[in-house]
Amino acid sequence: MPELPEVETSRAGIAPHLEGRTVSRLVVRQPQLRWPIPAELAQCLEGRVIRSVARRGKYILIAVDGGAALLHLGMSGSVRVLPVGAPVGKHDHVDLELDSGVMLRLTDPRRFGALLWQPEHELHSLLASLGPEPLSDEFNAEYLQTCCKGRKTAIKTLIMNSQVVVGVGNIYANEALFQAGIDPRRAAGRVSAQRLEQLVVCIKQVLAWAIKQGGTTLRDFVGGDGKPGYFKQELHVYGRAGEPCHSCGSILKEVRLGQRSTVFCPSCQR
């Protein structure tokens, strides 16, 4: 699934083509995504100027007067900016046509993505319970200490909880915990304040670097400009179970936490 850096890469790629342009037409070929596309969405968007293209967690918010379209890429979704009238593929479900002669096309082979509507001055239920953005000042050591206090949940599971902090997906949770030297299985409440402070720094660094590199190259993801991300070349533990640790040479181990593959160094991470 595309994680926060992949979504941010897509947002940054499409924003210059959308912001300030008027929506001329919304074409929906397949309304049945993870949730049905609202029937009124065309009426909400057509003829309106796109004021901004923002991101909240893994949702891209395309804002116009009166509200915003919420776009989620799901397991396999991607977006492209193409000329209006470009040939349609089997999994090209939605086109957002603009007055500039280009369109934003949503492609989603597995149809686990979403395109929904959030009226102005309202907060969609999917966004209501989200924790702070990991790159924001609100996500800091004091906040994480409060979230971890007394918790028996594994620290990796906790930082992947979107109600605690949004967008720290499996790949970047593995990488941040390795950089912080924390065993992903350790109970959150047993991680010292000093190490939690370091973990916050590492989460921010890993995500910021991944965004700068254009996200992680996944089988189903390419950036908003049609080019793949390159952060995969920088991974230290994710996907490397059984290989030697880059830091100490120990063999990396793999366990399952919260049904997710978790790779760590038994020597470097305590």
3: tokens are 């994680």
Nearest to 185 by CA among 93, 260, 243: 260
- State yes or no: is 219 an active-site residue: no
Which residue positions form the known binding site for DNA? Answer: 91, 110, 151
d(CA 44, CA 173): 37
CATH architecture of 141-264: Orthogonal Bundle (1.10)
Instruction: Summarize pLDDT for 40-96 with one digit per residue, the tens.
Output: 999 999 999 999 999 999 999 999 999 999 999 998 888 999 999 999 999 999 999
User: In this predicted structure, what is the pLDDT of residue 215?
Assistant: 67
Q: 4-128 and 141-264: same fold?
A: no
Q: Which of 3, 6, 8, 97 is catalytic?
A: 3
Give the span between the Cα atoms of 264 and 251, in whole angstroms.
Answer: 9
The per-residue pLDDT for 219 is: 46
Catalytic residue among 55, 58, 105, 156: 58
Q: Is 56 a catalytic residue?
A: no
Whole-model pTM? 0.89
Regions in the chain scoring below 70 on pLDDT: 1, 215-233
Burial of 264 (0-12, 13-18, 19+ CB in 10 A): buried
**Cβ neighbours of residue 246 closer than 8 Å, sequence gap 6 or more:** 236
DSSP secondary structure, 106-168, as one string: EE-TT---EEEEEETT---HHHHT----TTSTTS-HHHHHHHHTT--SBHHHHHT-TTTSSS-
Cα 204 to Cα 189: distance, rounded to the nearest angstrom: 21
Where does the chain have alpha helices with state H? 4-18, 41-45, 125-128, 141-148, 155-159, 170-180, 193-213
Q: Which two tokens stand for residue 255?
A: 């366990």
Identify whether 58 is a catalytic site residue: yes
Active site residue 142: no
Q: 4-128 architecture in CATH?
A: Alpha-Beta Barrel (3.20)
Say what the pLDDT of residue 212 is. Answer: 85
Please, which residues bridge with residue 260 across strands? Answer: 257
Catalytic residue among 48, 186, 195, 260: 260
Q: Binding site: which residues?
A: 91, 110, 151
Q: Any idea where the domains of the chain sit in the sequence? A: 4-128, 141-264
What letter would DSSP give residue 251?
Answer: B
Q: Which residues pair with 32 in a beta bridge?
A: 36
